[in-house]
């Protein structure tokens, strides 16, 4: 017989919820939370919110309700639930919701479950709204758990930062038999300069592991010609270590590409207002999606509760640092003293793949861990 928690997960995964189109999923989750006894609603950002208890100390459980694109038929085969978002990250979000609805909450406490919108599209609109509300109220949560897959016995302490760059190059066409680089070749040269620059910065900083490295990726490169000019667009992503902020990377890009005289328009309108048709190569760099690297510390009640709960359950707890970026990069810097980590069932190597699926035994086990963690947090004598 399907448990209530598995039913919640199966039904939520069955509701498509691309970034920006989460309304039906948020309504569904809010209604489910309300039936479990929470004060539940869809907030101004569109996130599902459910509050259990009403005390001043808040445990914030923030997962994301939007998913990466791509349809995978939702089905349960054996003990495995297949479907987009099953791992990233409705599995962790539903585990939060199920656990919060099953623990007794002392008077001083409340547990807030959030199904946040727009984590996948890099705006993190839902998480930013939660931050803004709490800042306005002057209320820092006691601790925060971000819903992302870590496996049931592992706690994610940190994520790398991020910066997205769209580089538009406009250069005069040249004869392909001549010595001058063609615009598309100049685009490739730009990528080489940038990746060489990142490599040099990594060496300067003694970066020896993926989490410590400044990591560029070329997501796409497109080119087209018009009468006299070639137009090349490079779409890049950068994963940032702790030693490189988005502002520092902007400065590095300006330095690496200085011979190309890059400009950094604040937005498209500013770019379009400048004169076109210059004979010189034009290089515009649009930056977005900036997040700093964040790593939570280990000496706090949140980590203590997890280690104790996992061992109590017969597991060997582990810590992990992820090379991706999540809403932890929003909540962590916003409240730097607040204990924060990410947790949830599932294998993150299945994120964004056609094979995304979740072992329901692991899902159930993570709910038990979460319930134990919540109990320990709320009853800890250290509080």
Partner 1 sequence: MAMDPECPECAAAVPLSPETLVGEIVTCPDCGMELEVTQVNPAVLQAAPEEEEDWGE
356 catalytically annotated: no
Smallest gap, in angstroms, from Cβ of residue 315 to partner 1? 11
Distance CA(22)–CA(19), nearest Å, equals 6
The number of beta carbons lying within 10 Å of the beta carbon of residue 156 is 27
Tokens (6 digits) for 146: 């971000």
Which residue of 40, 60, 127, 303 would you call a contact of partner 1, by CB under 8 A? 303
304 binds partner 1 (CB under 8 A): yes
- Taking a C-beta distance cutoff of 8 angstroms, is the pair 116, 366 a contact? no
Confirm or reject binding of residue 124 to partner 1 (CB under 8 A). Answer: no
Is 337 a binding residue for partner 1 by CB under 8 A? The answer is no
Helix residue spans in the chain (DSSP H): 4-13, 23-35, 90-100, 125-137, 183-204, 246-256, 268-272, 301-312, 328-334, 360-379
Strand partners for 115: 48, 63
CB 281 within 8 A of CB 186: yes
Is 159 a binding residue for partner 1 by CB under 8 A? The answer is: yes
Residue 238 engages partner 1 in binding (rule: CB under 8 A): no
Considering only 326, 356, 363, 378, the residue that binds partner 1 (CB under 8 A) is: 326
Binding residue (CB under 8 A) for partner 1 from 27, 39, 250, 298:
298
Is 323 among the residues that bind partner 1 (CB under 8 A)? yes
Beta carbons within 8 Å of 84's beta carbon, 6+ residues apart? 13, 16, 67, 68, 69, 70, 71, 72, 356
Active site residue 259: no
Give the CA distances from residue 163 to residues 217, 248, 260, in Å, rounded to whole numbers and listed in that order: 11, 11, 21
- Of residues 22, 58, 118, 119, which has the active-site annotation? 119
Q: Does 324 bind partner 1 (CB under 8 A)?
A: yes
Q: Which stretch binds partner 1 (CB under 8 A): 50-58, 72-80, 151-159, 263-271?
A: 151-159
Is 219 among the residues that bind partner 1 (CB under 8 A)?
A: no
Q: Taking CB under 8 A as the rule, does residue 305 contact partner 1?
A: yes
- Binding residues vs partner 1 (CB under 8 A): 88-89, 148-149, 154, 157, 159, 209-211, 298-299, 303-309, 311, 316-326, 348-349, 351, 380-382
């Amino acid at each position: 017989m399907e448990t209530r928690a598995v039913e919640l997960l199966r039904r939520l995964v069955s509701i498509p919820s691309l970034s920006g189109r989460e309304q039906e999923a948020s309504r569904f989750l809010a209604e489910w939370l309300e039936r479990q006894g929470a004060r539940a609603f869809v907030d101004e950002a569109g996130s599902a919110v459910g509050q259990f208890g009403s005390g001043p100390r808040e445990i914030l459980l923030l997962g994301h309700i939007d998913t990466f694109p791509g349809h995978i038929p939702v089905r349960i085969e054996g003990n495995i639930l297949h479907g987009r978002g099953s791992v990233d990250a409705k599995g962790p979000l539903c585990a939060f919701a199920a656990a919060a609805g099953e623990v007794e909450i002392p008077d001083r406490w409340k547990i807030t479950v959030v199904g946040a919108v727009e984590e996948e599209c890099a705006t993190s609109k839902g998480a930013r709204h939660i931050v803004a509300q709490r800042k306005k109220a002057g209320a820092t949560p006691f601790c925060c758990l971000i819903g992302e897959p870590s496996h049931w016995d592992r706690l994610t302490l940190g994520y790398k930062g991020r910066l997205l760059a769209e580089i538009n190059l406009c250069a005069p066409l040249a004869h392909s038999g001549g010595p001058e680089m063609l615009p598309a070749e100049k685009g490739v040269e730009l990528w080489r300069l940038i990746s060489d620059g990142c490599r040099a910065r990594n060496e300067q900083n003694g970066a020896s592991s993926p989490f410590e490295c400044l990591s560029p990726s070329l997501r796409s490169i497109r080119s087209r010609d018009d009468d006299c000019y070639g137009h090349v667009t490079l779409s890049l992503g950068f994963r940032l270590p702790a030693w490189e902020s988005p502002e520092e990377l902007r400065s590095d890009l300006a330095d690496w590409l200085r011979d190309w005289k890059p400009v950094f328009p604040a937005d498209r309108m500013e770019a379009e207002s400048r004169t076109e048709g210059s004979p010189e190569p034009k290089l515009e760099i649009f930056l977005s999606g900036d997040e700093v690297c964040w790593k939570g510390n280990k000496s706090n009640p949140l980590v203590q509760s997890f280690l104790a709960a996992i061992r109590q359950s017969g597991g060997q707890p582990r810590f992990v640092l992820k090379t991706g970026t999540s809403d932890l990069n929003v909540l962590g810097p916003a409240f730097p003293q607040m204990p924060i980590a990410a947790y949830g069932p599932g294998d993150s190597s299945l994120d964004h793949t056609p094979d995304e699926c979740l072992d329901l035994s692991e899902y159930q086990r993570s709910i038990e861990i979460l319930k134990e963690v919540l109990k320990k947090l709320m009853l800890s004598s250290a509080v």
